[in-house]
Amino acid sequence: MICKRCVVSGRVQGVYYRGSTARIAASLGVTGHAVNLSDGRVEVLACGTAEAVDRLVAWLREGPSGAQVTKLDIEVLSSPEGKAPTGFTTG
**H or E stretch including 24?**
helix 17-28
Residues with catalytic function: 18, 36
R_g of the chain, CA atoms, integer Å? 12
Assigned domain for 43 exists: yes
CB atoms within 10 A of CB 80: 7
* For range 78-91, the mean pLDDT: 75
User: Which residue range(s) make up the domain with 17?
Assistant: 2-80
Report pLDDT for 80. 53
Question: What local confidence, expressed as pLDDT, does residue 85 receive?
Answer: 81
pTM above 0.75, yes or no: yes
Residue 25 in any domain: the answer is yes
* Residue 19 covered by a domain: yes
Q: How many domains does the chain have?
A: 1
Q: Tens digit of pLDDT for each residue in 21-76?
A: 999 999 999 999 999 999 999 999 999 999 999 999 999 999 999 999 999 999 99
pLDDT surpasses 80 at 83: no
Q: Report the Cα 44 to chain-centroid distance in Å.
A: 3
pLDDT at 82 over 80: no
CATH, residue 73: 3.30.70.100
Q: Is residue 88 part of a domain?
A: no
Dist. CA 91–CA 57, nearest whole Å? 19
User: Is residue 89 a part of any domain in this protein?
Assistant: no
Q: Is residue 91 part of a domain?
A: no
Residue 90 lies in a domain: no
